[in-house]
Amino acid sequence: MPDIGWILDHLPALGRRWDLVLPLLAAHFLADFPMQPGAWVAGKRAGFRSPALYAHALLAAVLAYALIALWEAWIVLPVILASHLLIDGLKARFPDTWRSFLGDQLAHLLVIAGLVLALDARWPNPWIGWRPHPLWTLFVAWLLVWYAEGCFIGKATAAWQGLLGRSEGDDLERAGLWIGRLERSLILLLVLLGRVEAIGFLVAAKSIFRFEALKEGGRKEAEYILIGTMASFLLALLTGLAAVWLLRRAGWPAG
Protein backbone atom coordinates (compact mmCIF):
# COMPACT_ATOMS: atom_id res chain seq x y z
CA MET A 1 0.00 0.00 0.00
CA PRO A 2 1.39 3.48 -0.90
CA ASP A 3 2.69 5.46 2.06
CA ILE A 4 2.36 9.20 2.64
CA GLY A 5 5.69 9.87 0.94
CA TRP A 6 4.55 8.12 -2.24
CA ILE A 7 1.34 10.14 -2.22
CA LEU A 8 3.16 13.45 -1.80
CA ASP A 9 5.59 12.56 -4.58
CA HIS A 10 2.71 11.84 -6.98
CA LEU A 11 0.34 14.66 -6.03
CA PRO A 12 1.43 16.83 -9.00
CA ALA A 13 -0.29 14.28 -11.23
CA LEU A 14 -3.62 15.76 -10.19
CA GLY A 15 -2.60 19.03 -11.83
CA ARG A 16 -1.49 17.56 -15.15
CA ARG A 17 -3.39 14.31 -15.74
CA TRP A 18 -6.57 15.97 -16.97
CA ASP A 19 -6.85 13.18 -19.54
CA LEU A 20 -7.78 11.00 -16.54
CA VAL A 21 -9.40 13.49 -14.15
CA LEU A 22 -12.00 14.93 -16.52
CA PRO A 23 -13.31 11.63 -17.95
CA LEU A 24 -13.53 10.13 -14.46
CA LEU A 25 -15.42 13.20 -13.23
CA ALA A 26 -17.74 13.01 -16.22
CA ALA A 27 -18.41 9.33 -15.57
CA HIS A 28 -19.15 10.01 -11.91
CA PHE A 29 -21.56 12.88 -12.53
CA LEU A 30 -23.29 11.01 -15.36
CA ALA A 31 -23.83 7.96 -13.17
CA ASP A 32 -24.94 9.98 -10.14
CA PHE A 33 -27.40 12.30 -11.91
CA PRO A 34 -28.83 11.99 -15.46
CA MET A 35 -28.25 8.24 -15.83
CA GLN A 36 -29.57 7.33 -12.38
CA PRO A 37 -33.37 6.76 -12.48
CA GLY A 38 -35.49 8.10 -9.65
CA ALA A 39 -36.39 4.52 -8.72
CA TRP A 40 -32.71 3.80 -8.08
CA VAL A 41 -32.35 6.88 -5.90
CA ALA A 42 -35.31 5.79 -3.79
CA GLY A 43 -34.27 2.15 -3.76
CA LYS A 44 -30.77 2.92 -2.52
CA ARG A 45 -32.25 4.17 0.74
CA ALA A 46 -32.46 0.49 1.70
CA GLY A 47 -28.66 0.39 1.76
CA PHE A 48 -26.70 -2.75 1.01
CA ARG A 49 -29.90 -4.77 0.60
CA SER A 50 -30.97 -2.72 -2.41
CA PRO A 51 -30.47 -4.13 -5.95
CA ALA A 52 -30.50 -0.51 -7.16
CA LEU A 53 -27.28 0.16 -5.24
CA TYR A 54 -25.45 -2.62 -7.09
CA ALA A 55 -26.86 -1.58 -10.47
CA HIS A 56 -25.77 2.02 -9.84
CA ALA A 57 -22.26 0.98 -8.76
CA LEU A 58 -21.86 -1.24 -11.82
CA LEU A 59 -23.00 1.59 -14.11
CA ALA A 60 -20.50 4.00 -12.52
CA ALA A 61 -17.65 1.49 -12.90
CA VAL A 62 -18.39 0.71 -16.56
CA LEU A 63 -18.73 4.39 -17.44
CA ALA A 64 -15.43 5.28 -15.74
CA TYR A 65 -13.58 2.47 -17.53
CA ALA A 66 -15.12 3.34 -20.89
CA LEU A 67 -14.56 7.10 -20.73
CA ILE A 68 -10.88 7.05 -19.75
CA ALA A 69 -10.32 4.65 -22.69
CA LEU A 70 -7.18 3.24 -21.08
CA TRP A 71 -8.08 -0.40 -21.66
CA GLU A 72 -5.11 -1.83 -19.77
CA ALA A 73 -6.30 -0.05 -16.62
CA TRP A 74 -8.86 -2.71 -15.74
CA ILE A 75 -8.31 -1.87 -12.05
CA VAL A 76 -10.69 1.06 -12.58
CA LEU A 77 -13.64 -1.36 -12.66
CA PRO A 78 -13.27 -2.95 -9.20
CA VAL A 79 -12.12 0.31 -7.56
CA ILE A 80 -15.09 2.36 -8.75
CA LEU A 81 -17.50 -0.53 -8.19
CA ALA A 82 -16.35 -1.18 -4.62
CA SER A 83 -16.13 2.51 -3.69
CA HIS A 84 -19.63 3.27 -4.95
CA LEU A 85 -21.04 0.29 -3.08
CA LEU A 86 -19.33 1.30 0.16
CA ILE A 87 -19.91 5.07 -0.01
CA ASP A 88 -23.51 4.96 -1.22
CA GLY A 89 -24.36 2.06 1.08
CA LEU A 90 -23.09 3.97 4.10
CA LYS A 91 -24.79 7.17 2.95
CA ALA A 92 -28.16 5.40 3.15
CA ARG A 93 -27.76 5.27 6.94
CA PHE A 94 -27.80 9.07 7.21
CA PRO A 95 -30.59 11.59 6.60
CA ASP A 96 -30.78 12.85 3.03
CA THR A 97 -29.47 16.37 3.68
CA TRP A 98 -27.01 18.73 2.02
CA ARG A 99 -24.37 17.60 4.50
CA SER A 100 -24.69 13.94 3.54
CA PHE A 101 -24.76 14.98 -0.13
CA LEU A 102 -21.49 16.91 0.21
CA GLY A 103 -19.90 14.12 2.21
CA ASP A 104 -20.92 11.58 -0.42
CA GLN A 105 -19.57 13.66 -3.30
CA LEU A 106 -16.33 14.45 -1.47
CA ALA A 107 -15.73 10.76 -0.77
CA HIS A 108 -16.20 9.90 -4.44
CA LEU A 109 -13.85 12.72 -5.48
CA LEU A 110 -11.18 11.45 -3.10
CA VAL A 111 -11.47 7.99 -4.67
CA ILE A 112 -11.08 9.54 -8.12
CA ALA A 113 -8.01 11.48 -6.94
CA GLY A 114 -6.43 8.33 -5.53
CA LEU A 115 -7.21 6.43 -8.71
CA VAL A 116 -5.59 9.13 -10.84
CA LEU A 117 -2.43 8.97 -8.72
CA ALA A 118 -2.26 5.20 -9.07
CA LEU A 119 -2.90 5.26 -12.82
CA ASP A 120 -0.31 7.97 -13.35
CA ALA A 121 2.29 5.94 -11.49
CA ARG A 122 1.58 2.93 -13.74
CA TRP A 123 1.02 4.84 -17.01
CA PRO A 124 2.96 8.11 -16.67
CA ASN A 125 2.53 9.26 -20.27
CA PRO A 126 -0.85 10.90 -20.94
CA TRP A 127 -2.40 9.69 -24.16
CA ILE A 128 -3.68 13.18 -25.02
CA GLY A 129 -1.01 15.15 -23.12
CA TRP A 130 -1.55 16.96 -19.85
CA ARG A 131 -3.72 19.57 -21.52
CA PRO A 132 -7.43 18.92 -21.07
CA HIS A 133 -9.48 18.68 -24.23
CA PRO A 134 -11.91 21.62 -24.28
CA LEU A 135 -14.93 19.40 -24.88
CA TRP A 136 -14.23 17.44 -21.69
CA THR A 137 -13.92 20.67 -19.72
CA LEU A 138 -17.18 22.06 -21.10
CA PHE A 139 -18.99 18.77 -20.59
CA VAL A 140 -18.01 18.44 -16.93
CA ALA A 141 -18.87 22.12 -16.31
CA TRP A 142 -22.30 21.59 -17.88
CA LEU A 143 -22.95 18.48 -15.77
CA LEU A 144 -22.15 20.52 -12.68
CA VAL A 145 -24.41 23.48 -13.44
CA TRP A 146 -27.26 21.42 -14.88
CA TYR A 147 -27.41 18.62 -12.31
CA ALA A 148 -25.06 18.56 -9.32
CA GLU A 149 -25.38 22.19 -8.24
CA GLY A 150 -29.15 22.19 -8.54
CA CYS A 151 -29.35 19.04 -6.43
CA PHE A 152 -27.20 20.62 -3.73
CA ILE A 153 -29.22 23.85 -3.70
CA GLY A 154 -32.47 21.88 -3.47
CA LYS A 155 -31.23 19.99 -0.42
CA ALA A 156 -29.75 23.13 1.18
CA THR A 157 -33.05 25.01 0.87
CA ALA A 158 -35.26 22.09 1.89
CA ALA A 159 -36.08 23.70 5.24
CA TRP A 160 -37.52 26.77 3.53
CA GLN A 161 -39.48 24.57 1.13
CA GLY A 162 -41.11 22.86 4.10
CA LEU A 163 -42.05 26.18 5.70
CA LEU A 164 -43.66 27.32 2.46
CA GLY A 165 -45.62 24.09 2.13
CA ARG A 166 -43.81 22.94 -0.97
CA SER A 167 -42.80 19.37 -1.68
CA GLU A 168 -40.21 17.93 -4.01
CA GLY A 169 -41.70 17.31 -7.42
CA ASP A 170 -44.67 19.69 -7.26
CA ASP A 171 -45.28 22.13 -10.14
CA LEU A 172 -43.61 25.12 -8.46
CA GLU A 173 -40.51 23.14 -7.60
CA ARG A 174 -40.24 21.69 -11.11
CA ALA A 175 -40.50 25.21 -12.53
CA GLY A 176 -37.82 26.41 -10.09
CA LEU A 177 -35.61 23.49 -11.09
CA TRP A 178 -35.70 24.46 -14.76
CA ILE A 179 -35.28 28.17 -14.02
CA GLY A 180 -32.21 27.37 -11.94
CA ARG A 181 -30.74 25.14 -14.64
CA LEU A 182 -31.23 27.73 -17.34
CA GLU A 183 -29.86 30.63 -15.31
CA ARG A 184 -26.77 28.67 -14.27
CA SER A 185 -26.20 27.62 -17.87
CA LEU A 186 -26.51 31.23 -19.00
CA ILE A 187 -24.06 32.38 -16.33
CA LEU A 188 -21.60 29.65 -17.38
CA LEU A 189 -21.91 30.79 -21.00
CA LEU A 190 -21.36 34.45 -20.07
CA VAL A 191 -18.22 33.60 -18.06
CA LEU A 192 -16.85 31.47 -20.91
CA LEU A 193 -17.45 34.36 -23.30
CA GLY A 194 -15.71 36.78 -20.93
CA ARG A 195 -18.89 38.78 -20.31
CA VAL A 196 -18.99 38.55 -16.53
CA GLU A 197 -20.43 42.06 -16.23
CA ALA A 198 -23.58 40.87 -18.00
CA ILE A 199 -24.39 38.70 -14.99
CA GLY A 200 -25.35 41.88 -13.13
CA PHE A 201 -28.05 42.56 -15.71
CA LEU A 202 -29.29 39.00 -15.27
CA VAL A 203 -29.59 39.53 -11.51
CA ALA A 204 -31.45 42.81 -12.05
CA ALA A 205 -33.81 41.28 -14.59
CA LYS A 206 -34.68 38.38 -12.30
CA SER A 207 -35.28 40.78 -9.41
CA ILE A 208 -37.73 42.79 -11.51
CA PHE A 209 -39.66 39.70 -12.59
CA ARG A 210 -39.79 38.42 -9.02
CA PHE A 211 -40.73 41.73 -7.38
CA GLU A 212 -44.50 41.26 -7.32
CA ALA A 213 -44.19 37.62 -6.26
CA LEU A 214 -41.92 38.62 -3.39
CA LYS A 215 -44.40 41.26 -2.17
CA GLU A 216 -47.26 38.77 -2.20
CA GLY A 217 -45.31 35.84 -0.75
CA GLY A 218 -43.94 37.62 2.29
CA ARG A 219 -40.61 37.44 4.05
CA LYS A 220 -40.21 33.64 4.02
CA GLU A 221 -40.84 33.44 0.28
CA ALA A 222 -38.41 36.31 -0.31
CA GLU A 223 -35.68 34.68 1.78
CA TYR A 224 -36.17 31.34 0.03
CA ILE A 225 -35.91 32.91 -3.44
CA LEU A 226 -32.97 35.14 -2.47
CA ILE A 227 -30.92 32.33 -0.93
CA GLY A 228 -31.60 29.96 -3.83
CA THR A 229 -30.79 32.61 -6.42
CA MET A 230 -27.57 33.78 -4.80
CA ALA A 231 -26.37 30.21 -4.27
CA SER A 232 -27.21 29.33 -7.87
CA PHE A 233 -25.39 32.36 -9.26
CA LEU A 234 -22.33 31.84 -7.05
CA LEU A 235 -21.90 28.15 -7.90
CA ALA A 236 -22.33 28.78 -11.63
CA LEU A 237 -19.83 31.65 -11.49
CA LEU A 238 -17.22 29.52 -9.71
CA THR A 239 -17.77 26.68 -12.18
CA GLY A 240 -17.34 29.06 -15.09
CA LEU A 241 -14.13 30.53 -13.69
CA ALA A 242 -12.70 27.04 -13.15
CA ALA A 243 -13.63 26.06 -16.71
CA VAL A 244 -11.96 29.20 -18.10
CA TRP A 245 -8.80 28.41 -16.13
CA LEU A 246 -8.68 24.87 -17.55
CA LEU A 247 -9.39 26.04 -21.08
CA ARG A 248 -6.59 28.60 -20.91
CA ARG A 249 -4.18 25.97 -19.64
CA ALA A 250 -5.15 23.93 -22.65
CA GLY A 251 -4.31 26.84 -24.93
CA TRP A 252 -7.94 27.65 -25.68
CA PRO A 253 -8.56 31.30 -24.79
CA ALA A 254 -12.01 31.85 -23.32
CA GLY A 255 -13.33 35.34 -23.49
Closest CA to 32 of 57, 49, 62, 67: 57
**Structure confidence at residue 255 (pLDDT):** 45
Q: CA 241, CA 255: separation in Å to the nearest integer?
A: 11
**Structure confidence at residue 87 (pLDDT):** 96
3-state secondary structure (DSSP) of residue 188: helix
Q: Determine contact, residues 44/53, Cβ cutoff 8 Å.
A: yes
**Structure confidence at residue 254 (pLDDT):** 45
Q: Determine contact, residues 25/140, Cβ cutoff 8 Å.
A: yes
pLDDT in tens, the chain (255 residues): 455 554 555 566 677 788 889 999 999 999 999 999 989 999 998 989 999 999 999 999 999 999 998 888 899 999 999 999 999 999 989 998 989 999 999 999 999 999 998 888 888 766 544 445 788 999 999 999 999 999 999 888 887 766 665 555 565 667 778 888 999 999 999 999 988 888 877 777 766 665 555 555 555 666 677 778 888 999 999 999 999 988 887 767 644
| Domain residue spans of the chain | 1-130, 131-255
**Structure confidence at residue 120 (pLDDT):** 87
**Structure confidence at residue 67 (pLDDT):** 93
Q: DSSP secondary-structure letter at 146? A: I
Q: Determine contact, residues 53/148, Cβ cutoff 8 Å.
A: no
**Structure confidence at residue 248 (pLDDT):** 85
